[in-house]
Structure 1
Amino acid sequence: MPQVRVYVSIPLPVEEVFGYLADGCNLAAWHSGAMSVRPAWPGGPGGEGGDGEGGGPGAVYRYRFPGRRRECVLRRVVHEPPSRVSFAGQRMWTPLGCQVPRFDFRLWPWEGGGCRVEVGVDCSLGGAMLLLWPVVAFGWRRDLPADARALYERLAGAGGQEEAQAAVTEARRTAGGGPTGRDPQRSPAGAAGPGTGPGIGTEPGFGTVEPAWRRAAPAPEPARPSRPVRRFRLPALHG
Structure 2
Amino acid sequence: MAEAGRLAGTLAGPEWILALRQTAARGRRGRAWVTPDGNFSATLVMMPREAPGVVALRSFVASLALFDALVAVTGRAEGLSLKWPNDVLLNGGKLAGILLESLGPRRGTTHLAIGVGVNLAAAPGADEVEPGALRPVSLVSETGAAVAPEALLEALAAAYARHEAAFVTYGFGPVREAWLARAARLGETVAARTGRSEVTGTFETVDDTGNLVLKTAKTRQAIPAADVFF
* Larger radius of gyration between Structure 1 and Structure 2: 1
Instruction: State whether TM-score is above 0.5.
Output: no
Query: Whose strand proportion is higher, 1 or 2?
Result: 2
Larger % of helix: which?
2
Normalising by structure 1, report the TM-score: 0.34
| Bigger relative contact order (CA 8 A; separation at least 6) | 1
Normalised by the length of structure 2, the TM-score is 0.35
